[in-house]
Structure formats: structure tokens, C-alpha cells
Amino acid sequence: GQNIDQPTEMTATEGAIVQINCTYQTSGFNGLFWYQQHAGEAPTFLSYNVLDGLEEKGRFSSFLSRSKGYSYLLLKELQMKDSASYLCALLDSNYQLIWGAGTKLIIKP
Amino acid sequence: IAGITQAPTSQILAAGRRMTLRCTQDMRHNAMYWYRQDLGLGLRLIHYSNTAGTTGKGEVPDGYSVSRANTDDFPLTLASAVPSQTSVYFCASSAGESGANVLTFGAGSRLTVL
């Protein structure tokens, strides 16, 4: 079967760095997405990884290890506006998206 | 402004009533999707359409129906609403049929069935 896990909630301090982990189990893999969702709003695309390694986009970076079934989203220089839920989504062998329940990130001043 | 428009934003509905959630996109995307989002669960796919004139069932299709008469519109109908259909519903679209494409989401429709 397929399974995707991420922590329910995390807290971090403004200006700091936080790493949000996502682990998965799947028989087939075609990539992993990260989306950001502010409370009461729509999810918006952050990153897509299909090969192992780190991809950097400004303050946000995403890492993938296919052999370990593991990804993380790294947020640097945290700002209050980064308070949101971060959704990890696995693209399986049938190109169907399997979504994690999301990690709610709380930023404190 | 290019994007996806959903209506209504919020609705309270009596059980047993019929309800249609509307979704319109102006990006000429081929694929469209309906998801529901419930607390503590990941987004779950209800129905999808890879191109105008075709539809398919997702993970949780029971109690819902869709149609795709043209590229822009993808309404979701609850024939006879039940309380377990209380949820936030998101319409999404992507340029290509493959799931590897980035999804653009509408703002959501919050539905409460009493």
C-alpha cells in the first residue's frame, strides 16, 4: 500500500530555520510535491522533486531521498507570514497524487 | 485575473437536499479535479476530468457526480446531501493530464450539511 506521514504541528521562532519532514511508503514513485496553505485559503505550489538532492528556491528548499522514502522542506529566515500548513504529496506509479495530512507551522515572534 | 472561481464560498444545507458546487477556470487547463479537505486528513480526490467530455472517479466518489461539458466548467453535484459530506471542497486544475503537473486551486467552498 501507500502511506505518507508528516508531523501534525511544529513551532518555530521568527528569523530561525525550520525543517518539515515527510516520509512515505509506495510501490511506485513519480515525484513529490510541497504545497503551502494559509488558514482558510487554497493550497499553493512550492516545489516538486523527482530526483534525489536539494532544490533551493529563495528562502525555501526541498530535499528528496528516494531510497529512504524521505523528503523535507527547509524554511530559512522565518517570517510571520510563513505561518501556514505545509502539505506533502506523493505522485504514485499511476500519476495519482497521495496527500499527507499537512504540518501546521506556528511562527512565534 | 486568471485562475479558478468557485461558488458558493460557503453554504449550509439540509440533509437530503441537492447541491451543486460551481467551478470555472480561465487558464484553458485540460485537467480539472474536485477534492475534499477534512481536519486531520489529507486532500482526497472525489472526481477528475483529464479533458472536456471525459470524467473519472477518484478516491471518494460515492454521493457525488460531475460533468465536463466544456474546458472551463467542472461542477460538482451532491444528489442528496448527508452530514458526512460536511467539508471544505476545493476545485483544482492543471495544464496537462499527467499528475506531474502543478495544480492551481480555487479558494474553496465550505459546505455544512445538517
Q: Do A44 and B42 touch (CB under 8 A)?
A: no
Nearest CA in chain B to A93: B99
Please report where in the chains the cell 510501490 appears, as a residue: A27
pLDDT at position A94 is: 84
Radius of gyration of chain B (CA): 13
pLDDT at position B57 is: 96
- A100 neighbors A6 (Cβ within 8 angstroms): yes
Worst-scoring range by mean pLDDT, A1-5, A41-45, B38-42?
A1-5
Residues of B in contact with A33 (CB under 8 A): 102
A61-94 pLDDT per residue, tens:
999 999 999 999 999 999 999 999 999 999 988 8
Instruction: Give the span between the Cα atoms of A89 and B103, in whole angstroms.
Output: 11
Please report where in the chains the cell 471542497 appears, as a residue: B89
Q: Say how many Å lie between the first and final Cα of chain A, rounded.
A: 41
A22 vs B: CB within 8 A: no
* C-alpha cell read off for B55: 470524467
Please report where in the chains the cell 472551463 appears, as a residue: B72
Instruction: Give the span between the Cα atoms of A84 and B48, in whole angstroms.
Output: 27
Average pLDDT over residues B37-44: 93
| Distance to chain B for A48, nearest Cα, Å | 8
pLDDT at position B97 is: 66
The 3-state DSSP class for residue A82 equals helix
pLDDT band at B98, cuts 50/70/90? Answer: low
Instruction: Give the span between the Cα atoms of A98 and A25, in whole angstroms.
Output: 11
pLDDT at position A95 is: 85
Average pLDDT over residues B14-24: 98
- A104 neighbors A38 (Cβ within 8 angstroms): no
The shortest CB-CB distance from B40 to any of A30, A99, A101 is to: A101
pLDDT at position A27 is: 84
- What secondary structure, in 3-state letters, does B26-77 show? CCCCCEEEEEEECCCCCCEEEEEECCCCCCEECCCCCCEEECCCCCCECCEE
Please give the mean pLDDT across all residues of chain A: 95
Q: Which of A21, A16, A87, A62 is nearest to B103 (CA)?
A: A87
The Cβ of residue B72 has, within 10 Å, a number of other Cβ atoms equal to: 18
